[in-house]
Structure 1
């Protein structure tokens, strides 16, 4: 009978990567002690006798920890040591032939880079597939395009309804593993069964510690709601009343905490977004230089990335900033026009109008003209934002005449606002600034005592924070538009700043128009 294998932390060996003075077998045993769940012996340059000796000794170590051993490519070695399985590449022996030679209990894995290769693996009866390379790696010469984080999902979708397992490989380490786990999900919910690493363990002097860190991240990620952003609305059981009281609480905190909100936004709205941020009680910083991103990530409360008038320096800054902020487990609000950034880091909130989110989702239901949506939007906006939030594993905010906020389980429908917002340049960008500001408050005030943050990329209730940002901005817009001194869009923006500055939680509570579906 085929052995049941836990693919969570899949170690591929590479003796050439060992630190100077580090013994291979010592490193292997320490890795197993740290939590490696399956080992693949890869020896591309070893002669048969040497490979056999390494494999025999490796299997003895793995057996002591009850961890299965897989041999790369060499069926003769696998048979000789009674390995648990074999892994083949696209230029190695076909799965169908290997199946004839191996005992029935042996599992067979295949490296796959695209849909055609994966379909062939399925047809030939593979037990698992290794999808990659996800990122560039020095452990193997790459002859095919990178799959990328966002390329994993479509491949995983092909496994829906099958028993075939999947691991991602290629450049994965403790800094980017959460991005891989969050980003690699099929449209129907199929997730990775594990991640395969080489240098992230083998190349380090303390492989046990490295394996333990990766193992803990994987374990925390699998626990449930935390994969969405910390505490999800599903976990909190949000109702209209609880959201209202939550918004009031965040508004009471923001002027006291005065969080620093790092915003990389388009040049058309930089000053406007900064003024909006100040008016609600937060502090903006609008830096774009790459060299500043590491330091800013340590002091900011949240990051807003808004792509519009994109320049090469700003793009490089966005890439670096997101990675650093993910590392510090702080919120990122992303206003999408270009999706490639999502290969590099994980947002806590994605905010956009119907045209922008349709482009992100690959939907032709909505078209856009420049940054504006054309037409009436989605036929089922609640279903759309809920499905997209589930796919992207973050909060999704759809802005428009009516705003929709979902965490993939619950959707809040918000009906505050005024038509003047649609006639003001950058009103959507300003909404993003408000959302990011309240995300910073929610993150700073989140209770973390006794909770592990290994499996999350931002603590705090981002669902509630997104709603707070929208409501504060839109209620202030209603109040500004109703003023006697406001005659139209030209006099509207100064009045909006005034109303945001003086807005109280009680007034917002009085004007809230929200329903939960």
Structure 2
């Protein structure tokens, strides 16, 4: 006979920690304010309290939770959970086995377990847990970590292991209001399984105003649940190539009209020509790398390009992406040569776990390295071999994995948001004979993304309520627009009588970018929707 268990909303899962309370803040007062702010589940954690004190704290916590009909769990201690008749327990990998805990607890008790690997998740499901805590997502000061940091991008494979089950999942460790949206957005399985909630400790417990701290995170969670696709919109199946080109033309006009600032942290080989390409398209470039500038620049710029062809200030890149995420501005990531060295691969992982990319652009070797695929090899910044056997499927899957628009550059370019794939067939061989043509594509994509975001934001009043979107505007159209701008302009430049080779091609390319119009995009753009 099945046992009816209590209904649990895992959305905002508070883990207590009295040692984190600010001076003068009473624990029970903080707990009640947190629940009023939106906490939906409480776990009482007392790592150092004697049994009598733990029992007293747990009972008082339960009284408050019952007042607001919020379930209460006890960390580790089965005896305390039984003594106060808690709703269940949370246990770690080194604690009492689930099977034993299940025998001791009432049949309707909730049991959760911390899981750091796919094997942990599979075993927890086999043992019959009700939920899993996945992580650590980030480093935390609330407890000494005994397992490697999983990162936002590492949560997806753990969620994959839950497919076909009704086991719930929350992320754990280092969750704050400033990274909650990134965590919810980026922690998604390949099939679309997402988190059921976030477990939070210090951001609420250490706050002098736990009501507001809890409400801030609860608002983000509710908005995300109401609108699961929070980074970009997808094309409906009937979206036609001509309609895409028309939208790209509108974005080109928006870039020229709004002249958004495009902040570029780029490699020193291409700084000048990237700036010139930005100006030619109608946007305004700024090149800045100091971490101390990022908060101010993110507030005024239309978008960010991070190109680490020459990695010189990783801290600046981390700070930049984080601040642009906070301001709901697009972030374009160009992982130049990411497969060339271990340091580049580690740096890319650091960046993509620190912030959410809106668009990731690269050649086949770079994107294969990012996806941990051996299908295409890289030599320096170039790809080796014939490319992907099925590039459309590759970009679609990578977009789902990274929760970003993927731009695969090559003789034929592919752009995907994880659902739709757009194939682009413009370009000229002379692009391959000048330094940094691929970097200029990243610049153009960033300019179009900034234009799309700025144009969309200009339609909203300052008083309009925030939503859960990381970026406003159609970023798939923007990414397609950036690629078309460079490739169409390259064909027009190469056809000019004054172009004799690569030396005369580059200035002609800048000229044609400046002369680009919606009509030229519509006439020359070669666009297919797959």
TM-score band, normalised by shorter chain: over 0.9
* Ranges in structure 2 where 5+ consecutive residues have no aligned partner: 339-344
C-alpha displacement of 1:354: 0.9
- Which deviations, in whole Å up to 9, do the C-alpha atoms of 1:131-183 show, x marking residues without a partner? 22221211112233222222222222222222222211111100011121222
What pairs up with 1:280-359 in 2 under 5 angstroms? 280-311=281-312, 314-336=313-335, 337=338, 338=345, 339-340=348-349, 341-359=351-369
Distance between the aligned counterparts of 1:334 and 1:22, measured in 2?
A: 43
CA contact (8 A) 1:32 1:208 kept: yes
Of 423, 434, 439, the match for 1:429: 439
Of 188, 193, 207, the match for 2:191: 188
2:129 is paired with a residue whose SS is coil
Specify the alignment match of 2:477 in structure 1. 464
Of 107, 110, 125, the match for 1:104: 107
Specify the alignment match of 1:513 in structure 2. 526
CA RMSD of aligned residues (A): 1.7
Range 355-364 or range 234-243, more displaced: 234-243
C-alpha displacement of 1:490: 2.1
Of 394, 401, 413, the match for 2:411: 401
- Which deviations, in whole Å up to 9, do the C-alpha atoms of 1:257-311 show, x marking residues without a partner? 1111111111111111111111111111111122222221111110000111212
CA contact (8 A) 1:398 1:404 kept: yes
Of 370, 386, 406, the match for 2:380: 370
Range 499-508 or range 475-484, more displaced: 499-508
CA contact (8 A) 2:153 2:402 kept: no
Of 35, 38, 44, the match for 2:38: 35
1:486 is paired with a residue whose SS is coil
Matching of residue 245 in structure 1 with residue 283 in structure 2: no
CA contact (8 A) 1:453 1:459 kept: no
Distance between the aligned counterparts of 1:238 and 1:439, measured in 2?
A: 20
Distance between the aligned counterparts of 1:60 and 1:136, measured in 2?
A: 32
Of 227, 231, 253, the match for 1:224: 227
Range 69-78 or range 241-250, more displaced: 241-250
Distance between the aligned counterparts of 1:327 and 1:254, measured in 2?
A: 22
Distance between the aligned counterparts of 1:141 and 1:346, measured in 2?
A: 26
C-alpha displacement of 1:236: 10
2:157 is paired with a residue whose SS is helix
Normalising by structure 2, we get a TM-score of 0.93
Specify the alignment match of 2:265 in structure 1. 264
Of 49, 54, 64, the match for 2:57: 54
C-alpha displacement of 1:362: 1.4
Distance between the aligned counterparts of 2:423 and 2:289, measured in 1?
A: 34
Range 187-196 or range 410-419, more displaced: 187-196
- Which deviations, in whole Å up to 9, do the C-alpha atoms of 1:330-353 show, x marking residues without a partner? 000001224221010001111111
Distance between the aligned counterparts of 1:397 and 1:354, measured in 2?
A: 10
Distance between the aligned counterparts of 1:299 and 1:71, measured in 2?
A: 46
C-alpha displacement of 1:238: 3.8
C-alpha displacement of 1:452: 4.6
C-alpha displacement of 1:104: 0.8
Normalising by structure 1, we get a TM-score of 0.95
Report the count of equivalent residues: 513
Distance between the aligned counterparts of 1:69 and 1:466, measured in 2?
A: 46
Distance between the aligned counterparts of 1:238 and 1:36, measured in 2?
A: 42
Distance between the aligned counterparts of 1:373 and 1:448, measured in 2?
A: 43
Specify the alignment match of 2:164 in structure 1. 161
* Ranges in structure 1 where 5+ consecutive residues have no aligned partner: none
Specify the alignment match of 2:341 in structure 1. none
C-alpha displacement of 1:249: 1.3
1:192 is paired with a residue whose SS is coil
1:227 is paired with a residue whose SS is coil
